[in-house]
Structure 1
Amino acid sequence: MMTSRGEISRGGDWLAMRAPAKVNLTLHVLGRRDDGYHALESLVVFAGTGDDLTFSPGDRLDLAVSGPRAGGIGHGADNLVLKAAEALAALVPGLALGRFHLIKRLPVASGIGGGSADAAAALRLLAAHNGIARDDARLVAAARATGADVPVCLASKARMMRGAGEDLGPVLALPPLFAVLVNPGVAVETATVFRGLGLKPGDGWGGEPHPDLAAAACGVAQARASLQAALAGGRNDLERPAQAIAPVIDEALALLRGAESCWLARMSGSGATVFGLFDDGRGAAAARQTIAARCPDWWVKATVLR
């Protein structure tokens, strides 16, 4: 079963959709709020690669997991697919539930929002089955109750994400980006990475403000050059503490930076997945082949980010 990015397919009594990987092209830490959460500013895009989720109506909520990365996640109540479904059921009396089947392809605890994307896909499928509009406030509330990255994954469209994930900007019409995603096979715990910043509640972080994306999102011919300039002025403030936990992130970044036609390499989210952006699809495919041959145990994918 394959579905296009963000689209729901139907067949018989089932619904299915792709849960695309989330990539943070930038991730600026503004400080730590009094409630303990870190305030962020991040440009988020979505990849062509991802997990796949199928929903079939049934008398009770259930989840089956298969696929090459199925061994890295739980099937029980702590799975975000089930958490999202339960959160929506608590807000929508009489919500019709059923059985989910998750084909897990994305690495776990990898900074590309695999669990959040799965949860968002579950909410979209339940909404479609129950006739709930995509912009229904209960859908958004269930997403927020499930996890900080779940709301931005609901639409899986390029946009700015601020705060602790609750403040989403408008969808951005960015030009497509040819990319290679590399995960060196280590799981990095998000909370540990944030602790590495050493911020106490109320502390600010500083750093240069986020680059302006207006020119890159206006659809003009210069949009790609404007986006490249904006991204070059951005950063991921979680890179350094993540590298201290998993030094292999440096190796992955070095391989991407050494690839021909790679014009930016950076870590996504809290790691350990890194991405490289390329001039075209041919350059991305060549880099993927080279890195995969050199590091056969790593997860390496060429894709397009939008």
Structure 2
Amino acid sequence: MKFSQAFALLIFSINISCDTNVASKEQVVKNFDDNIEDSLNSFWYTHQVAHPDRLQIVKDPDNSENDLLKVSLEPEDKVAKGNRSEIVFKPKDSFGYRNRYSFKFKFPKSFFKKQTTQGHILLNQWHNVPYPGYNYGDQIVKVRVPFALMVEHQPDGTFKMILHYGLRVNTLNDMVWAVWPGELGPDVWYTFENEIFWSLYNDGYTKPKLNDICFEVKGEQRCNFEGANMYHILPHDYKMGLYWNGKQENNIHIFYDDFKMTAERIGYFPPITKKDSIVNKKK
């Protein structure tokens, strides 16, 4: 590691330590809700789209009184070298935080058009950021995102919901893949709920459910996935929308609604005695 980068990491670590020692006198609970009404909440970044019309607030086809976020992705859409239309959550959680979040989504019939190749369409991911002192161009290790929820499509026209969790860094591979046992179809609301405890150690975990049904690993139900989910102290980016991993042939879109997230510091700090709730509302 270069001296300047190592020095930057040392200073960053000291600052994190000082900040958490001061902040640990109070419990921090952060609540974020976005019911998708008229516009997106101000806590979203919306720059990871190829064109502004890939993100639209539209009326629910089945309920004219309800607004939805329509996210679209076309084969030529390229952002940061990937086929993506995603919104990114501004607030960040680091180690010792428990994050609980949920959202609703549904697919139009056109989403299930056949593809000639196998691939994945990510709906939600916690994306890693480079090691302190580095950027995406010179990062010293290649890291797979520690959590991703996605639709897998096959050339025979089958679609299923899967996820992966865990660290995959260079030769380290503790990543676990799981399949949702339910069926996917058009014009049906699905509710995804998840709880993640962020940790550099084996006490990290995630508890995902879709329509209150756990995922399965090799045919056996798994409601709790354990293991480290951070490889350094910088927090991950939360992303939601559409990211196509594989060759995209068709224009697709999806509808999102009722996003909720609560983050609370619960680990690696002195005893907590006071609760400080921060509620973010639309501007």
TM-score by length of 1: 0.22
Which structure shows the higher helix fraction? Answer: 1
TM-score by length of 2: 0.23
Q: Of the two structures, which has the highest relative contact order with CA contacts closer than 8 Å and spacing of 6 or more? A: 2
